[in-house]
Every structure is written in structure tokens, then in C-alpha cells.
Amino acid sequence: MVDWELVRQDFPALNRRINGRPIVYLDSACMAMKPKQVIDAMNEYYEQYPACAGRSVHRFGEEASNAYAGARKRFARFINAAQPEECVWTRNATESLNIVASSVKLDKGSKIITTSLEHHSGSLPFVERARRDGLKLHVVEARPDGTFDIEDWKEAIDSNTGLVSLVHCSNVTGTIAPLEAIVEIAHDRGAIVVADDAQYAPHHPMDVQDSGVDFSAISVHKMCGPTGMGVLYGRLELLESMQMCLYGGDTVSDVRYEDGVILPEYLPPPEKFEAGLQNYAGAIGAAAAADYLQSIGMHEIEKHEKSLIERVLKRLLEMDEVRIFGTSDASLRVGLVTFVVSTVPSAHDVAGFLNDEHNIMIRSGWHCAGPFHYQMGIDPKKGTARASFYVYNNMDDVDRFLEAIESLIKASS
Ligand SMILES: Cc1ncc(COP(=O)(O)O)c(C=O)c1O
């Protein structure tokens, strides 16, 4: 049994009082708070061995090299990658997706498939790749409740399809896509699958071998890790076959100079994608975050969030003035809810009221998901409001949030 009140104590930011009152943080789908275990691991690097990994033979260099290599192994375990070399450190999930989109090999004339539910980071890199190489781009439309019809995928993925880019868990509807089924169809027809796991990895056990996915983009800052850190998982043979994106220091095993010609020999993955001095503290923090979540237990985290979101959905669905997006079936979604309140002009008014009157921090806007907002007939300027729950939230937070929404409706009706 997890003691969720003890978990809360790991997060120093929860001790903040604003205007003398405690806060409720419900914006974890954007940025998760950081536990002291992550902060301590990063501080230890900065305070004890703040050196470069893989280059210097001195003591600090050796300690940094060991910590950096160890961090990759620990993160590989977190997603059950077959080998650590399949995990490339990036700055965020967006960079991970861009590396795949710009560098993966695709046949001339092949088709790329994406969806109407993607975060812009999951669609735009592929829109641009299609434009660059004159490839066809097909959009599979999500149902209004954020789920997919598997028949649409069977129809869309044909033998001409080179790549499918799919948001595994939506940051708008919180719904989980049938990744394994889509991977099976895609592989049957010779296509590779890129999963946008930015919202999935923080909340579920990850197993890239079991899902069979070819690439996965992970956002470390959404899983209690440091900002400016992401991971690109890729099957080794695919990473090996890809073009490099950045060239320079740390990407080469040799650079000869013969007859006035510079002749580089490049390293295999992951180094070929990690040019220059890296974010060592970030990688160490990422591994600490992975260890932290695993120490709670990913299944426990899933269950905890489900219990919170069930109550949120039930109560919000009873309010006539609230329209929620995504299926009302809590078992098909993670702990976030996106909604509008008909009695206030825009979602920013909802977020402003909750912040100013109740110390509750939620997100408002279009959540980098313009196409789905247009599909739902929502003016992106007015946007939608999103409350997202994580390991440090409890029923008290849920109740404070629901009471605040009720008081907003009363004040605005
Ligand atoms: C579903 C989804 N994909 C991709 C991203 C982009 O992640 P990052 O900020 O790590 O680039 C986000 C961020 O909100 C997201 O929610």
C-alpha cells in the first residue's frame, strides 16, 4: 500500500503558501513537480562531481561518466528497452519526434499517417517531412470522445505506408490509443510506428518491447524529472540506419586528416545523436525520476489517478454548465480532464478565477492541439481548461477543485 500523504511530502513546492493559503497544483500534464529525490540527485552532481562525461580521465570525469552511463541503463530499464543504447537523451519529446521525422529512412512516394488528436509536436514534424520529400500525409480522425475506430486504421494503413505517428495518450482528452493493435496492423503492412509517449510514460508501466513500437518520444519533465530533458527510444537497427541531425564533438570515433581532406568516422547510437557536451545533471535527474516513480509503482500510480479522475468526471458530468472532452469512461483515460464552462467567456477566465480566488493552478488554452480543437468546434482563442492530476494530488485537491468550479458557475450565472 502506498502512503500517498508521504508521497506528497517529497515535493517541496507543495509547501508553498500563496496569500497565506495552501496551493493545489493541477497542471502536471504540462509540467510535473519535482520530488526531493530528483533535486538531490542533480544537486549531488553539481556539488560533488560537476564534470564532463566520457572525456576526462580525472576523478570527477570518471564519476560523471559512471553516473551518466548508469542513468541511461536505469532509464532503459524504466521503459524495458532491450539495451541502453536504444535510449537517446534529448531536450524534450518534441526534439525526439523531430529527430525521427527528419532522419528516419522512408521510401520515395510512401505515406505518413498521423491523427487529428496529436499534440503539434506529434504532427508538425511529420507534416514538414512530408512536405520536404513530397510524401503523402494522411490524417486518421479521432472520434469526438478522443477514441479511435480501429477500422479507420485498417483502412488507412496500406502497403504504401512508411510511418505512423500516434499520440499514445492524449493531452486533451486523456484517452489512451490502442497502440498494440495499431503496431500490429502497421508491422503487417511494413510500416513503422512512432508513439508520442509524453503523456503515457509518466502514468503507466512502459514496455517498448512488449508494445513492439519502433520509436517512443518521452518528456522527462512530465514525469517528475528535470526540465529540458527528453528521451528518444528507437529500435537499435532503426537508429543505426538513420541520418544524423547534428555533427560535432562526441559523435565521432576518429577524424583523420589526409591530403587536405577531413575524414570523420561516426559513432553508433546513441552517441551519433548526442553531439557536444550533454545535460549530465539532466540525465542523472531523469534516471532519479524513473527510479522514484518505480519506487511508488506504476500500477499504483495508475490506480491512484483513476480513483481521482473517476470522482472528478462523475461530478463534472452532473454540472449542466460544464462540457467535458474525451470519453466519460474513466477506465479509458488518465488523470486529466479538459472542459469548458458555458457561463464564462473563455477558458482563461476559468483558469484565472481558480488561481486568483482558490490558489488552484490549472491550464487553459489549446494545449498545442489546434486540429482537435477545430474538429470539436472550439475557438482556439477561447480554448479549453485542463486540470491534470498526479502522484501528489489527493481527494482533498479534487474536492477543492470541484467546489471552485461550482463557485465559478454560481458567480458567473
Ligand atoms: C501529448 C504530448 N506530446 C508532446 C508534447 C511535447 O512535449 P515536450 O514539452 O517534452 O516537448 C506534449 C507536451 O505537452 C504532449 O502533451
- Mean pLDDT of the region 176-200: 98
Question: What is the H or E stretch that residue 365 is in?
Answer: strand 363-365
Ligand 1 test: best mutation among 167, 219, 386, most atoms within 8 Å of CB?
Answer: 219
19, HSE (Cβ side, Cα atoms, 13 Å):
7
Quote the DSSP letter at residue 265: E
Give the start-to-end residue ranges of the domains of the chain.
Answer: 4-27+297-412, 49-294
Cα 33 to Cα 359: distance, rounded to the nearest angstrom:
16
CA nearest ligand 1 atom 16, residue: 171
**Alpha helices (H) along 297-369:** 298-317, 347-358
Residue 223 CA, ligand 1 centroid: distance in Å: 12
Instruction: Convert 241-261 to b/e letters by CB count within 10 Å (16 or more is b).
Output: ebebeeeeebbeeeeeeeeee
Which fold, 4-27+297-412? Answer: Aspartate Aminotransferase, domain 1 (3.90.1150)
Ligand 1: residues with CB < 6 A are 30, 92-94, 119, 121-122, 167, 171, 196, 198-199, 219, 230
Which residues lie below 8 Å from residue 98, measured CB to CB, with a gap of 6+?
121, 125
Question: What is the H or E stretch that residue 360 is in?
Answer: strand 360-361
Q: Is 245 a catalytic residue?
A: no
Statement: residue 200 has pLDDT above 90: yes
Amino acid code (one letter) for 404: A
Contact 89, 279 (CB under 8 A): yes
Residue 28 CA, ligand 1 centroid: distance in Å: 12
| Atom of ligand 1 at shortest range from CA of 196 | 3
Place of cell 500563496: 18
Statement: residue 202 has pLDDT above 90: yes
Please, which residues bridge with residue 255 across strands? 264
User: Using N-to-C axis directions, what is the helix angle for 280-296 and 59-79, rounded to 10°?
Assistant: 40
Q: What is the pLDDT of residues 383-401, one digit of tens each?
A: 999 999 999 999 999 999 9
Statement: residue 55 has pLDDT above 90: no
Place of cell 529512412: 105
Mean pLDDT, all residues of the chain: 97
193, HSE (Cβ side, Cα atoms, 13 Å):
26
Residue 329: the pLDDT is 87
| Atom of ligand 1 at shortest range from CA of 367 | 14
Which residues lie below 8 Å from residue 355, measured CB to CB, with a gap of 6+?
361, 362
Which fold, 49-294? Answer: Aspartate Aminotransferase; domain 2 (3.40.640)
**Alpha helices (H) along 199-346:** 208-211, 236-241, 280-296, 298-317
Quote the DSSP letter at residue 380: T
* Residue 322, Cβ density class (10 Å: 0-12 exposed, 13-18 middle, ≥19 buried): buried
Residue 12: asked if its preceding bond is cis (omega within 30°), the reply is no
Residue 140 CA, ligand 1 centroid: distance in Å: 20
Statement: residue 328 has pLDDT above 90: no
Do 49-294 and 4-27+297-412 fall under one CATH topology? Answer: no
Contact 171, 119 (CB under 8 A): yes
- Mean pLDDT of the region 62-70: 97
Residue 54: the pLDDT is 87
The strand ranges marked E within 16-170 are: 17-18, 21-22, 24-25, 87-90, 111-115, 136-140, 161-167
| Atom of ligand 1 at shortest range from CA of 230 | 10
Residue 15: the pLDDT is 95
Residue 378: the pLDDT is 94
Q: What is the pLDDT of residues 208-254, one digit of tens each?
A: 999 999 999 999 999 999 999 999 999 999 999 999 999 999 999 99
Residue 254 CA, ligand 1 centroid: distance in Å: 36
Q: What is the pLDDT of residues 262-299, one digit of tens each?
A: 999 999 999 999 999 999 999 999 999 999 999 999 99
Residue 365 CA, ligand 1 centroid: distance in Å: 14
Ligand 1 test: best mutation among 89, 90, 94, most atoms within 8 Å of CB?
Answer: 94
Cα 212 to Cα 344: distance, rounded to the nearest angstrom:
45
| Atom of ligand 1 at shortest range from CA of 170 | 1
Residue 81: the pLDDT is 98
Place of cell 489546434: 370
Cα 113 to Cα 153: distance, rounded to the nearest angstrom:
9
